[in-house]
Amino acid sequence: MSRRRSRLMAFPVLFLIPSAITAQDPLPDKREVLEQKAFQLLDNVADTITSLRSPGNRIQFACTVADLLWHRDEKRARALFETVTREMAATVASLDRSDSQDQLLVSTDN
């Protein structure tokens, strides 16, 4: 009976060992490759932000991309934040203060 019990105990262990071994191998090369691809995609997105029509969308996407790029390429992130600042200033300057819809956009009570 003890042999049977030991066989039953060994059976689940055989299935756990391969998963434990593969869980410990983080594949750093693969991670680096994926990270490179992700930042290339992020660079492509950063390059196409200017093609967006809505100033609000351009501002939002540029802020998000700049935030994601900050640790990798601080110069580029700063340039994006500067572009966002200029865009926001131009958008606020172009608002008609007598228009109630425009007043809602700049209201601080939201």
For residue 46, give the nearest of 72, 28, 19 by alpha carbon: 72
Per-residue pLDDT of the chain in tens (110 residues, 90 and over written 9): 555 554 545 445 445 555 555 555 556 788 888 888 988 888 888 888 889 898 888 999 999 999 998 988 899 999 999 999 999 899 888 877 777 666 666 665 54
Q: Which element (helix H / strand E) includes 105?
A: helix 100-106
Look at the alpha carbons of 51, 52, 54, 56 in this order and tell me if their dihedral is positive or negative: negative
Find out whether 80 and 66 touch, Cβ atoms under 8 Å. yes
The rounded Cα 41 to chain-centroid distance in angstroms is 11
Distance between CA atoms of 39 and 109, rounded to whole angstroms?
38
The number of CA neighbours under 13 Å toward the Cβ of 42 is: 21
Distance between CA atoms of 70 and 45, rounded to whole angstroms?
15
